[in-house]
Amino acid sequence: MASESNSIQQSSTQPVTPGDDDGIREIRINPVVPSESVLVATARSMRPKKDEAPAPRDTRAHVDRCPFCTGNEHMTPPEISRCPGTGDWNIRIVENLFPVLGDDRRQPDFSFGLQQTIDGYGRHEVIVDHDNHGISLHEMSAEHIAMLFGAYRDRIEQLYESDDRLKYVLVFKNFGPAAGGSIPHTHSQIIAMPVVPENVQAEVRSSAQYYDKHHRCIFCSLIDEALTFEATIYDRESGEVRRRLDVGQYIIERGERFIAVKPFASRYEWEVHILPLHHQADFRDTSEQDLQDLGQVLKRTMQRLDAVLGGVQYNYFLHSAPGGRDNRTSSSYHWHLEICPRTSIPTGFELGAGLFVNTVSPEHAARRLRDVCI
Ligand SMILES: [Zn+2]
Ligand SMILES: [Zn+2]
Ligand SMILES: [Zn+2]
């Protein structure tokens, strides 16, 4: 632990090396969506790493010409809401200047032969996460992060209520150029769409199948396993130890109500998921106390990622039970936040084979994130 913190003090921009990552080469099946698998191959040649120093971060608190900075509210598209409701704001929701989906014109769905389209109906909005221009998530107070997720929750609810053609509301954040963040002022986005995205549907479908078989939520089972499972697996032929599983091996952070875990079949080297410890299908059901604890767990998780990776660029997105609240989904599905740091570029192999390649074993990444001093 001591050497970890020393090396980070010397330079937080050191590229991460697998170090004592044991030579693993195996395909891991995603337990939630079995059709998705990941090749964990710790031989570094598998994937071009973005070893260059992270892009310099704009840490200015205020930028005169930035449309998201205070005093420039007239430069954004119309405001939808702000937090607090009146006076100086901490968080603002505005319409997107270049929406990918919109409700300003309608065109009928279209089907001809194998060509099928669904009208690009929907809403696309921007959330200015903080009044401080260059602040990173790990530098925000846990209370502010709780308020931000409260703003997400309230807006998701309003959008579902506003129009029953909206089938899914996705909240996500792109941070840093490698993650597609085009405006430097910290912000997130909301897209309300007329279809449930296929990856969410796949999670909902697979977890419902698991529920039918085992009468349990698969996400709750995964959390229990992470908290209680210990085993040594031996090779049948040689008797050598093939794998040792330890209690808490995949846990990065734990609060009273939330847990941050490293998925066993992580697509990205430093991917981390945050889930409520107690079963909850719909993010809209989070209470104020839930959000406070989520704020703490997310802040500490981001501090860990920043300490290990230095200037982490990432995407995060919320997966929650889609649209209407039907009972079946609420027993079998469990909402979560997926955080995907961008440290490498997908290759032709990944695009062509549909198989993610992860060059840092999830066990090693989890240990690094847990042991780093924050
Ligand atoms: Zn700004
Ligand atoms: Zn659950
Ligand atoms: Zn998910």
**pLDDT value of position 223:** 96
**Which range has the worst mean pLDDT, 112-126, 146-160, 167-181, 219-233?**
112-126
Q: Please report, for residues 77, 100, 267, 298, 321, the alpha-carbon distance to residue 126 in angstroms, rounded to integers and kept in the order given.
A: 10, 12, 27, 21, 22
Say whether pLDDT at 73 is over 50. Answer: yes
Contact criterion met (CB below 8 Å) for 48 and 344: yes
- CA 374 to ligand 3 centroid distance, Å: 27
Q: Which residue has the tokens 């060509």?
A: 115
Q: Which residue has the tokens 């049948």?
A: 236
Q: Which ligand is nearest to the CA of 333?
A: 2
Q: Which ligand is nearest to the CA of 133?
A: 1
Taking the C-alpha atoms of residue 92 and residue 79, their distance in angstroms, rounded to an integer, is 7
What torsion do the CA atoms of 277, 283, 287, 291 make, to the nearest 10 degrees? 70
Q: Which residue has the tokens 């698991």?
A: 210
Contact criterion met (CB below 8 Å) for 319 and 200: yes
Say whether pLDDT at 16 is over 50. Answer: no
In this structure, what DSSP letter does residue 100 have? S
**pLDDT value of position 325:** 63
**Which range has the worst mean pLDDT, 37-46, 173-182, 227-236, 311-320?**
37-46
Name the residue with higher pLDDT: 151 or 9: 151
Question: In the chain, which ranges are E strands?
Answer: 25-29, 37-41, 79-83, 91-95, 110-112, 115-117, 123-128, 168-175, 187-193, 231-234, 241-245, 251-254, 258-261, 272-276, 314-319, 336-341, 356-358
- CA 135 to ligand 1 centroid distance, Å: 10
Mean pLDDT: which of 1-5, 82-86, 156-160, 231-235 is highest? 156-160
**Which range has the worst mean pLDDT, 5-9, 14-18, 129-133, 220-224?**
5-9
Phi and psi dihedrals of 53, rounded to 5?
-60, 145
- Reported confidence tier of residue 116, pLDDT bands at 50, 70, 90: confident
What mean pLDDT is predicted for residues 146-173?
Answer: 95
**pLDDT value of position 17:** 42
Name the residue with higher pLDDT: 267 or 182: 267
- CA 203 to ligand 3 centroid distance, Å: 7
Structure pTM? 0.89
- CA 66 to ligand 1 centroid distance, Å: 5
Taking the C-alpha atoms of residue 160 and residue 155, their distance in angstroms, rounded to an integer, is 9
Q: Which ligand is nearest to the CA of 70?
A: 1
What mean pLDDT is predicted for residues 111-137?
Answer: 89
**pLDDT value of position 330:** 86
- CA 200 to ligand 3 centroid distance, Å: 6
- CA 144 to ligand 1 centroid distance, Å: 17
What torsion do the CA atoms of 33, 168, 294, 150 make, to the nearest 10 degrees? 180
- CA 231 to ligand 2 centroid distance, Å: 23
**pLDDT value of position 144:** 98
- CA 204 to ligand 3 centroid distance, Å: 9
- CA 209 to ligand 2 centroid distance, Å: 14
- CA 71 to ligand 1 centroid distance, Å: 10
**Mean pLDDT for all residues in the chain:** 87
- CA 69 to ligand 1 centroid distance, Å: 4
**pLDDT value of position 118:** 76
- CA 297 to ligand 1 centroid distance, Å: 26
| Strand-by-strand arrangement of the 251-254 sheet | 79-83, 91-95, 123-128, 187-193, 168-175, 314-319, 336-341, 272-276, 258-261, 251-254
What mean pLDDT is predicted for residues 9-29?
Answer: 58
Say whether pLDDT at 53 is over 70. Answer: no
Say whether pLDDT at 69 is over 70. Answer: yes
Per-residue HEC secondary structure of 125-167 comes to EEEECCCCCCCCHHHCCHHHHHHHHHHHHHHHHHHHHHCCCCC
Pairing mode, strands 25-29 and 336-341: unpaired
What mean pLDDT is predicted for residues 181-208?
Answer: 92
- CA 335 to ligand 2 centroid distance, Å: 8
- CA 331 to ligand 2 centroid distance, Å: 7
Q: Which ligand is nearest to the CA of 58?
A: 1
In Å, how far from its chain's centre is CA 232?
31
**Which range has the worst mean pLDDT, 10-14, 187-191, 233-237, 342-346?**
10-14
Say whether pLDDT at 106 is over 90. Answer: no
- CA 338 to ligand 3 centroid distance, Å: 6
**Burial classification of residue 106, based on how many CB atoms lie within 10 Å of its CB (0-12 exposed, 13-18 middle, 19 or more buried):** exposed
In Å, how far from its chain's centre is CA 372?
21
- CA 336 to ligand 3 centroid distance, Å: 6
**pLDDT value of position 364:** 93
What mean pLDDT is predicted for residues 283-306?
Answer: 97
